[in-house]
Each structure stands twice: as structure tokens, then as C-alpha cells.
Amino acid sequence: MSGPLAIEAVLSPADLKTLLAALRTAASHPATVIDPTPGGVVMAQVRRTQRLELDAATEALIRARLEAQRPRLEAHFGQRLGPLETPQALRYGPGDYFVAHQDGNTPLVHDRSRHRRVSISLLISAPDDYAGGDLVFHDGAERRTAVIPAGCAVAFRAETTHEVTPLATGERFSLAAWWMAP
């Protein structure tokens, strides 16, 4: 089974500048967690962060950069991938977090996330713009922190347990997206 894949330079410095400008001014609302009801529900005890609304041009840029990674992801994870779910732009502020969870592809879940195969987390903020807010992978008793420079990403199987630890200071902008089963 393939572990997480670090992907360098998904976004160029120009892309980062464009995205940060768009994300800093984007409308936002509390991020939801998946549940059987349309749109999900806000569960602050599980996930506390802001989901940012993307304009069409920004979403198109993100999709193009992520889709360019498809061949590499299919080779690494040894499977053909289906459509890319709408990316989520997220802003974590002090105290924000997402508890240990899986993004999908688990037989115990009966919502649309069961069709997710590969997750990707793309960091927009420079790591020195904030403290805390680490992306941590859980493998039994072992915990591994992913160190992701701005513009880079980590892709992993959707059933991988992971979390975002509470942010201590600053702002952490990131994108999350999922490739579905074909």
C-alpha cells in the first residue's frame, strides 16, 4: 500500500500571490463536516475553521493545477482516479483545528465520501506565517507531521487517519480536494 506522496511546486510564486489575494478577501462561513443531510452540518467539536468561497477564475486555476497532478497520483496510488470533487479553500485562525478523521473510502460511511479515493492538502500560506496547525498522519500509535512548504502538497489515500492540530498564532490558508472513484 502506498503512503503519502509529497508534491513540490504545485503552485508557482505567481499562483500563490494570486490565490492569497483572492483568499484574503473571499467570503467565508464555518466549514462543515460530511453527514447524510444536504450541505453537512457545522460541528465545532470536530472541525473549527472557515471555508472560503472561491470565484470561478480562482477555482479554475486550482482545478488546473490539481488536475496536472493526476497522472503522478494514479501511478503512485496504483489506481485510475475519477472526477475531482470541488476543492475547499480553508482559513485556519488561532484555535482552529480538525480532529483526527478520515476523508472517505471507508465501508462504515454511507454518504458520498465513500467514493473518495485520494485526498490532497495544498498549502497556500508560508509555514512561518503561523504556528501550530500541523497536518499530522496517524498510523496506529505512530504520528507523523507533514511539513509542507507554501505551494506544495501532500496526497494520501482517503482512508488515511489525519488531523490538523490547533493553530496557535497567525493564519493558515490551505486547499483540500478529493479524487473520486472512476
Cell of 92: 485556519
182 three-state secondary structure: coil
Reported pTM: 0.91
In CATH, what number is assigned to the domain containing residue 72?
Answer: 2.60.120.620
Residue 121 structural domain: 5-180
Number of domains making up the chain? 1
Distance CA 45, CA 42 (A): 9
pLDDT tens digits, residue range 110-125?
Answer: 555 578 999 999 999 9
Secondary structure of 52-70 as H, E, C letters: ECCCHHHHHHHHHHHHCCH
pLDDT tens digits, residue range 28-50?
Answer: 999 888 765 556 777 888 999 99
